[in-house]
Structure 1
Amino acid sequence: MMKYLIGLTGGIGSGKTTVAKFIEAKGFAVYYSDIRAKEIVNDNSILKSEIINLLGDEAYDEEGSYNRKWVADKIFNDDTLLMKLNTLIHPAVKEDFEHWMNIQQSKFIFKETALLFELNLDKNCYKSVLVTADESIRIARVMERDHKTYSQVKDIIQKQMSEEEKAKRANYIIYNNGDLESLSMQTNVMLESLFKDL
């Protein structure tokens, strides 16, 4: 069976996971790259060793769990270190995704990932979907969710690819300013359009 890979992305606080849940509820297979990455850094013993070699023992806590906040603080202003860490994590996630995709029975496969365009993963996708929202709304969501300050969230957003650049590359754009009914309707329209394109 021919499978069509759809990339689903959005910046921090955009609500791309909410859209992914809507898609999943419709019966489509969704791979949550960001969630799987958080699991893989704990489950993959070879990857754990590589991360410790790169960052030091503090990359994992006393229980052996990935010390996410410590790592984030360490790499935030060090682009070289961030790139080295990504070259360890991304291949592991890619391998995990390919194994997952091979066992799916859906015609349409959705891959939710924050770095779809940054890593040029959209080149491997049939179509791409961007979930976006006003920056003020995104900042407020992340401040509430992650207990970060305004300036901390603003710094994260400024390090990500701009919404304008992402919008140029996306085939579909879903606006998520907080109205779940509108979000559900836009998701349905996007799915219907996908079927028409084939």
Structure 2
Amino acid sequence: MNASTHKPIKNWVLGLTGGIGCGKSTVSAMFEKLAITVIDADIIARQVVKPHSHGLAAISEHFGAQVLNPNGSLNRAQLREIIFADTAQKTWLNNLLHPLIREKTLTDLHSANSAYVVLVAPLLFENGLEQYCDRTLVIDVPIAVQLERTIARDNTSEQQARSIIAAQMSREDKLNRADDVIDNNRPLAQVATVIQQLHAQYLALPAKK
């Protein structure tokens, strides 16, 4: 459902989520190939801290030059180390970024024109973004697969990968809250077939008035 404090979003929204390393980007790209608008909260999170943005200025003022690269961009690895070692700093950062991300997300949702729109957010449930969604879809893989993919993709340690997974909502809780689930621990051709089937179901749902 949509929050009553904002004007209604004109087309219905599919919230797509899953833990780190579950393959959300791969699945969302398949929806894009079906001419569905995809709004990715991770991309928006990068946009609100780009050079010369209000978000980056506030971060550099709070944490100092150590979180900036020589070219003035955000040093994400350094910031990640700080906030995972200090809960208070993580809370400060979340309090800064979440409203900025939410505002940009709502702007993009209102401007989408496809039959429905996919909102991709790793913390969809944790950050209350499901309130803007009409259905939710969880991309699911076993935790061992999450670890393997995250370590390989991000060149991070197993300890840090485990810390990131532990900081997210549990796999079980996500599955319990989902309207739909895709098992992404199988060949991509099989995943694509499931998405085609879901897409047909979504197109058949009544349009929002």
Do they fold alike, i.e. is TM over 0.5? yes
Alignment RMSD (CA, Å): 1.6
Per-residue deviation, residues 6-55 of structure 1 (Å, max 9, x unmatched): 11111000001100000010000001110221232114522122112222
Q: How much has 1:196 moved relative to structure 2?
A: 3.8
Compute the TM-score of the two structures, normalised by the length of structure 2.
Answer: 0.88
- Once residues 75 and 190 of structure 1 are traced to their aligned partners in structure 2, the CA distance between those partners, rounded to angstroms, is 38
Compute the TM-score of the two structures, normalised by the length of structure 1.
Answer: 0.93
Per-residue deviation, residues 36-79 of structure 1 (Å, max 9, x unmatched): 21232114522122112222222212211101000000000322
Per-residue deviation, residues 88-109 of structure 1 (Å, max 9, x unmatched): 1122222222222232211311
- Once residues 87 and 135 of structure 1 are traced to their aligned partners in structure 2, the CA distance between those partners, rounded to angstroms, is 28
Q: Which residue of 1 aligns with 2:6?
A: none
List alignment gaps of at least 5 residues for structure 1. Answer: none
> Which structure features the higher share of helix residues?
1
Q: Which residue of 2 aligns with 1:45?
A: 53
Give me the identity figure in percent.
29
- Counterparts in 2 of 1:97-136, with a 5 A limit? 97-136=105-144
Q: 1:34 and 2:48 equivalent?
A: no
- Once residues 107 and 129 of structure 1 are traced to their aligned partners in structure 2, the CA distance between those partners, rounded to angstroms, is 17
Q: 1:192 and 2:184 equivalent?
A: no
What SS does the aligned partner of 1:137 have?
Answer: helix
Q: Which residue of 2 aligns with 1:161?
A: 169
2:48, 2:54 within 8 Å by CA — same for their partners in 1?
A: no
List alignment gaps of at least 5 residues for structure 2. Answer: 1-8
Q: 1:79 and 2:50 equivalent?
A: no
Q: How much has 1:124 moved relative to structure 2?
A: 1.8
**Count of residue correspondences:** 198
